[in-house]
């Protein structure tokens, strides 16, 4: 069922027939957690504190818009009480936080940060994906893959070193090789353990 503009306005008037809804333009002076301090324009109300940025200060989920200090906002009053002021519209934001269950996404001027359970994504001048001790980073056209014990670069460095110094056992000079030299075999075994530690 849809309503016309006139029907919506009439319904709002019926909700509070004797009291107009009060909304004032304001300038943000400072931010304090989920509240802000504002100067209400066109009035002598300056440094008005405890203006709510969200409907419930105790809420653990939802969207939180942090307006930029010095920016223009609209401030409303719950039941037209100046003791219950809230920001109802913003013109500029410094950051946005969205929290739903165990997922938190924060966006500000410098980065995007998303966390869900043990996974974490950070986008700034570089991109980093973390899960537990494992981390993948993209930076300046290069990639880094590592965990608490080893990095992919270490694995490849060890492989290059192994190939450069590869040794085999020969029965006599010029005879075919009989087996891999024991020290070389130990290096191959160690390299395989590192690969298994890092890659799935």
What distance in Å separates the CA atoms of residue 19 and residue 51, rounded to the nearest whole number? 21
Taking 50 as the pLDDT cut, the residues of the chain under it are: none
What's the predicted TM-score (pTM) here?
A: 0.71
Q: What is the pLDDT of residues 151-198, one digit of tens each?
A: 999 998 998 888 888 878 887 777 777 788 888 888 888 888 888 887
Single out the residue of 141, 103, 105 nearest to residue 123, CA to CA.
105
Single out the residue of 5, 46, 53 nearest to residue 26, CA to CA.
46
């Amino acid at each position: 069922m849809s309503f016309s503009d006139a029907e919506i306005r009439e319904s709002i008037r019926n909700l509070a027939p004797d009291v107009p809804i009060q909304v004032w333009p304001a300038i943000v002076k400072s931010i304090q957690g989920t509240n802000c301090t504002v100067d209400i324009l066109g009035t002598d109300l300056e440094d008005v504190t405890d203006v709510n940025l969200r409907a419930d200060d105790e809420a653990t989920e939802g969207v939180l818009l942090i307006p930029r200090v010095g920016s223009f906002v609209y401030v409303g009053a719950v039941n037209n009480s100046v003791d219950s002021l809230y920001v109802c519209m913003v013109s500029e934001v410094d950051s946005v936080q969205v929290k739903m269950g165990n997922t938190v996404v924060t966006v500000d001027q410098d980065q995007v940060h998303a966390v869900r359970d043990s996974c974490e994504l950070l986008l700034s001048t570089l991109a980093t994906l973390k899960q537990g001790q494992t981390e993948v980073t993209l930076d300046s056209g290069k990639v880094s893959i590592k965990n608490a014990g080893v990095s992919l670069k270490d694995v490849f460095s060890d492989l290059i070193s192994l190939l450069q110094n590869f040794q085999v056992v020969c029965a006599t000079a010029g005879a075919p090789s009989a087996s891999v030299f024991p020290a070389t075999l130990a290096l191959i075994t160690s390299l395989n353990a590192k690969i298994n530690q890092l890659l799935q």
